[in-house]
Amino acid sequence: MKSSDATHTEAFDREFSLAEILPEKHIVSILNESHSDFIENAVILDTRGRCYYSVVPLDRPDLTVIQRHVSQDDISRESICATLGSYFHAFRLVHEMETMGFVFLKFHPEWPPPEKVAGAAVGIIRAILKQTMKMTYGNLLTGRLHSKVVEDSYEDLKKKNEALRRSERKYRQLSAQLEIEVAKKAEQIKKAHATLMQKEKMAAIGHLAAGVAHEINNPMGFIISNINTVKSGLEDCLKMIARYRQAISHPFTAKNIDAQTANRLEAYYQDLDIDYFNEESADIITETLDGAARIKNIVDDLKAFALPGAQEADHVDLNTSLTTVLNIMKPEIPEGIRVVLHLSEIPAVCCHAPHMNQVLYSIIINAVQAIEGAGKIQITSGVHDNHVEISVSDTGHGIPADALSKIFDPFFTTKDVGQGTGLGLHLAYKVLELYDGVLSADSTPGQGCAFKIRIPVTVETPAQQKQADGHV
């Protein structure tokens, strides 16, 4: 048993005093009512002889004799009559087999009642006092029990409250630590997602590299050839000019040049075929400039696809993004696959252009790889319910029904080993979520597949919204 529990039990089990089980307010109502023509006084003493209550003040000599009887524990009828007289009666106040005090009743000496009447009166008063003590004792026990329960409940509540306080402090600390850990994990996930996107982009760039190199080699081939032609023609022109300068520098003037010299210069001119160079030079330069422009466009599109771009989202025209992606994907689209565009005028959406380029590339390359041999890819754009919609459908082999629900899961792929990482469509799905967009797919096995992008039309970019909020 705990010390606190032992203390409570000891306090509960302690004895009650005479004043507790026989309160003065009850004595007054009992003894004063008994005070009549027969009873002159009523006195109650505790076991130590101290006067607890008297109806009227008691004479000192009588009090001394009464206290001697109490101290000697002798209140027999004979002894009382011998010392105090026959008009005195006494009895013990007994509760739970324990003497709590003594009651002395003094009847009027002038009109003493008969012995039997006096004895009956004494018995009635004793019974009333005993019943009063019993009822008071019960009330005290009930009150003490209630107090103990309340005290115990209060102590329990204090303990529980303290435990709750400790628990709250602990959980506050844990919550703070958890927030820090969550922030760290969120940052790690963000970095991991960015890394995955970059890896997927690098994989796409790897696929594009060979085709882009071929695309660049074609214009570079005729650019080099044309430059060599221009170089040769310029060398001939310089030689011809040198001959003319030599002839002109002769002591004779140009009009004195003889026919033989003129014929020799003309033959040399014809031998260099300078007229052909003059006729072709404009076309050569134009063709060279066109080739250089093609190279520049290819490089610009590749840069737009590969570079991370600005950190802040901006208004992006998805038709332009489609054109950019298709330009750099030309080498990856076999001759047997026909790409049909039906692009409508659409508003710009708020996003990162490189992100959307990656999304479009992943969807289009998936359509290309789904077609074996000849086929068609149809790409449409439009606006519906304040959303820009891009649809990419193919005539490939389609996606089985049991795999359709998994195609956006990370690392899931239906392609052969080495042909796909299983991240392209997953990252496209996650990127669109960043801009409150949705990527969905519908397929009939053997008849092809259709992917649809839906992105809400946003009037303001996040940066513009922050700036507007700052002025409110």
CATH of segment(s) 309-471? 3.30.565.10
Beta bridge partners of 44: 53, 103
388 three-state secondary structure:
strand
Q: C-alpha 417: how far from its chain's center?
A: 38
Task: Find out whether 360 and 321 touch, Cβ atoms under 8 Å.
Answer: yes
Q: How confident is the model at residue 439 (pLDDT cuts 50, 70, 90)?
A: very high
Look up residue 38 and give its two tokens. 């027969």
Q: What's the rounded Cα separation, in Å, for the pair 124 and 117? A: 11
Q: How confident is the model at residue 205 (pLDDT cuts 50, 70, 90)?
A: low
Please write the tens of the pLDDT for every residue from 44-80.
998 888 888 888 887 888 888 888 988 888 888 888 8
**Per mean pLDDT, which range of 260-274, 333-347, 451-465 is the poorest?**
260-274
Number of H helices, E strands in the chain: 13, 11
Q: What percent of the chain has pLDDT over 70?
A: 69
- Which of residues 33 and 47 earns the better pLDDT score? 47
Please enumerate in sequence order all residues whose Cβ is within 8 A of that of 72, keeping only pairs 6 or more positions apart, or say none.
none
Q: What is the pTM of this model?
A: 0.43
Look up residue 132 and give its two tokens. 């009063």
Q: What's the rounded Cα separation, in Å, for the pair 150 and 154? A: 6
Classify burial at 216, counting beta carbons within 10 Å of its beta carbon; exposed 0-12, middle 13-18, buried 19 or more: middle
**Residue entry with tokens 């005539």:** 395
Sheet arrangement for strand 448-456: 337-343, 375-384, 387-394, 448-456, 438-444
Number of CB atoms found within 10 A of residue 201's CB:
22
| pLDDT value of residue 338 | 93
Q: What's the rounded Cα separation, in Å, for the pair 70 and 409? A: 100
**Per mean pLDDT, which range of 306-320, 409-423, 426-440, 442-456 is the poorest?**
409-423
DSSP 390: E
Q: How confident is the model at residue 345 (pLDDT cuts 50, 70, 90)?
A: very high
Q: Where are the alpha helices (DSSP H) in 371-461?
A: 401-404, 424-434
Task: Find out whether 397 and 370 touch, Cβ atoms under 8 Å.
Answer: yes
Query: Considering only CA atoms, which of 43, 67, 68 is closest in space to residue 57?
Result: 43
| pLDDT value of residue 8 | 41
Query: What's the topology of domain 7-157?
Result: Beta-Lactamase (3.30.450)
Please write the tens of the pLDDT for every residue from 145-186.
777 667 666 777 778 778 888 878 887 888 888 888 888 877
